[in-house]
Amino acid sequence: MEQLSVLKFFKHVLVAIVSALLGWALWRISGSWIYALLTALSCAGVFSWLFYYYESWALDLVHLQEKTEQLSNALHEANLKTSERNEMLASKINELTTLRRITLAMSSTIELDAVLEVILEAVTQQLKYDGAQFYLYDSESKELRLYKTMGNVEGAPDIKGFARCLKDKKPMILAGQNKHSAGLPVLAKDEVIGMLIVSHDPLKAPLTETDIRTLSTYTYQAGMAVENARLYQTEKHFHEELARQVEIAKGKLLEAQKKLIQNERMAAMGEAAAVVAHEIKNPLGSIRASAQLMIYGIEPGDKRHRYVQLLLQEINRLDGVANSLLDYAKPLRVRPEKFNVHDALREVLEMTRAQVEEKKIDVVTEFNAVKQEIEADVDQLKQVVINVVQNAFNFMGNRTEKRLKISTRNIENSLQIDIEDTGEGIPPDVLPHIFEPFYTTRARGTGLGLAICHRLMAAHHGSIEARTQPGAGATFVLTFPERYIPGSEAQPG
């Protein structure tokens, strides 16, 4: 508009000058000042009309230019708003895409690591944060521990700086000189189960509440992932424990069934053995008395004297077998008392000294048990040890190295006795049957020695087991509880 005002001023000046010059020229030529004045006025009118037309055109041009500028400004503002909206839409699309990836990861796998990998990757790559740390609640230490990191976390604060965040269960921003960090609690059922800490260079862009709202979406997904993973682990452990307990119960049931069948079988065999032994002993006594009378009337040099002696030896052996059958068949009566196991073992070794010296056996003792006293039937313990030792003597008869080792030690609330020999060992096919009555590999054995040992140990709620390597000897392990359990007397078998 200022340009139009200047233009109008110069227009009037120019019209006046041109009209004056034209009038002066006509006056000089015609000599008539009236003609010159009329002509000058006519020219001034023409010039004024021309300048008015030009002025209108110029004014329209200026208005058009102003409208053009206004339209250009409006288009520029529209472009800016469109760009902002495009950026916002792109950010939302990116965010929704990431959330979809997280949802797919959560639906396709229950593994917590895989879901957290997607979340931290989205935070550092899509949201352009420098680094991210994920803390997870540890049920054992009852505190949050660093579980996973991604990106550059150097210089970022640890979880101690976000104590208020954990207490209030609300996000928190820490503005440092070189790092801006935000801590967001991960909640499940309104309980803090973790925390996400992101760090960012403030020169790039400071953290804002908008960033917090976006990150809260990810922590919500992380909370669901952690809760799902924990529920899965709980259910998995429950099923595993249930399966384990079922297997244990099945094993115990099968073992109990096996023992029940074996006990019934052994009880029946014991009763039968008692009847047989009783029926054998009566005529055996008469045979022994007759043989003893016969030998008195025969000279020692007579062959019949030697035959009668062999008869008496076999009678005594059969009498021993009958006594063993009766001992196995009769109910046990445990008379518990407190005694020193080492003293009892020394008495057993003293009783077997003659055999040890005769067979030239090297005896080694390692009494390592600190608690040496137990509550048990001392005579029955000695009987078990004697039977096992006698068994070892028999199997070391032809060996070059003859060594018997007896050691003790405490195991929890029990005392263990190991009896180790350097005999021939026990074949693998024989080992499962050695505690069965009447099972023997010796030509003159009754098969009752170890069966009686097993029965006596069961009466004390203890155990006896054999460990062996064929050709390298055997070790019998006797385990006695420190205190006797009443009501544990065993019947035959």
pLDDT tens track for 176-198? 767 788 888 888 878 888 888 88
Inside any domain, residue 7: yes
Same domain, 288 and 369: no
Domain boundary among 178, 213, 233: 233
Pairing of strands 180-188, 373-376: unpaired
Tell me phi and psi for residue 382, to 5 degrees. -60, -40
Please give the Cα distance from 395 to 402 (Å, whole number).
10
Residue 23 in this model has a pLDDT that exceeds 60? yes
Alpha helices in 297-377 (DSSP H): 303-329, 341-351, 353-359
Lowest-pLDDT range of 409-413, 415-419, 433-437: 433-437
Inside any domain, residue 38: yes
Inside any domain, residue 403: yes
Give the helix/strand (H/E) hosting 294.
helix 209-296
Q: What is the pLDDT of residue 444?
A: 63
Same domain, 361 and 474: yes
Confidence of residue 490 (pLDDT cuts 50, 70, 90): very low
Average pLDDT value over all residues in the chain:
78
Tell me phi and psi for residue 235, to 5 degrees. -65, -40
Same domain, 471 and 423: yes
Q: What is the pLDDT of residue 343?
A: 92
Domain boundary among 233, 257, 290: 233
Q: What is the pLDDT of residue 417?
A: 93
Burial call 25-53: b when 16+ CB within 10 Å, e when fewer: ebbeeeeeeeebeebbeebbeebeeebee
Count of beta carbons in the 10 Å neighbourhood of residue 88 = 10
Q: What is the pLDDT of residue 114?
A: 75
108-129 pLDDT per residue, tens:
566 777 777 877 877 777 777 8
Contact 196, 218 (CB under 8 A): yes
Q: What average pLDDT score do residues 69-81 get? A: 84
Inside any domain, residue 89: no
Same domain, 410 and 383: yes
337-374 pLDDT per residue, tens:
899 999 999 998 888 888 888 888 888 999 988 888 88
Inside any domain, residue 99: no
Tell me phi and psi for residue 369, to 5 degrees. -65, 130
Same domain, 336 and 473: yes
Same domain, 137 and 151: yes
Q: What is the pLDDT of residue 452?
A: 82
Confidence of residue 406 (pLDDT cuts 50, 70, 90): very high
Q: What average pLDDT score do residues 427-454 get? A: 76
Q: What average pLDDT score do residues 303-317 get? A: 78
Q: What is the pLDDT of residue 16?
A: 64
Hey, what amino acid is at 114?
A: A
Q: What is the pLDDT of residue 245?
A: 92
Contact 156, 199 (CB under 8 A): yes
Record the tokens describing residue 430, joined without a space: 């024989």
Q: What average pLDDT score do residues 88-108 get? A: 66
Same domain, 74 and 187: no
Task: Identify which has the larger pLDDT, 461 or 50.
Answer: 461
Inside any domain, residue 94: no
Q: How far is CA 120 from CA 99, 117, 128, 166, in A?
A: 12, 5, 11, 20
Residue 477 in this model has a pLDDT that exceeds 90? yes
What is the dihedral angle through the alpha carbons of 447, 453, 459, 462, rounded to the nearest 10 degrees?
Answer: -130
Residue 38 in this model has a pLDDT that exceeds 70? no
Confidence of residue 331 (pLDDT cuts 50, 70, 90): low
Residue 294 in this model has a pLDDT that exceeds 60? yes
Q: What average pLDDT score do residues 245-264 get? A: 83
Question: Edge-to-edge strands of the sheet including 143-151?
Answer: 143-151, 131-138, 191-200, 180-188, 172-175
Same domain, 287 and 229: no
Count of beta carbons in the 10 Å neighbourhood of residue 308 = 20
381-396 pLDDT per residue, tens:
888 899 898 888 888 8
Inside any domain, residue 486: no
Question: Is the torsion defined by CA of 188, 193, 194, 195 positive or negative?
Answer: positive
Confidence of residue 42 (pLDDT cuts 50, 70, 90): low
The residue range of the domain holding 22 is: 2-83
Q: Which residues neighbour 168 within 8 Å (Cβ) at sequence distance 6 or greater?
A: none
Lowest-pLDDT range of 61-65, 131-135, 404-408: 61-65
- How many domains does one find in the chain? 4
Q: What is the pLDDT of residue 491?
A: 46
Task: Identify which has the larger pLDDT, 409 or 174.
Answer: 409
- List % helix, strand, coil for the chain (3-state, nearest 5): 60, 15, 25
CATH code, domain carrying 338? 3.30.565.10
Residue 70 in this model has a pLDDT that exceeds 60? yes
Please give the Cα distance from 204 to 28 (Å, whole number).
83
Task: Identify which has the larger pLDDT, 412 or 3.
Answer: 412
Same domain, 353 and 467: yes
Confidence of residue 68 (pLDDT cuts 50, 70, 90): confident
Domain boundary among 83, 105, 138: 83
Lowest-pLDDT range of 68-77, 94-103, 234-243, 425-434: 94-103
Same domain, 284 and 345: no
Inside any domain, residue 103: no
Under DSSP, the state recorded for 427 is -
Same domain, 308 and 375: no
Same domain, 132 and 199: yes
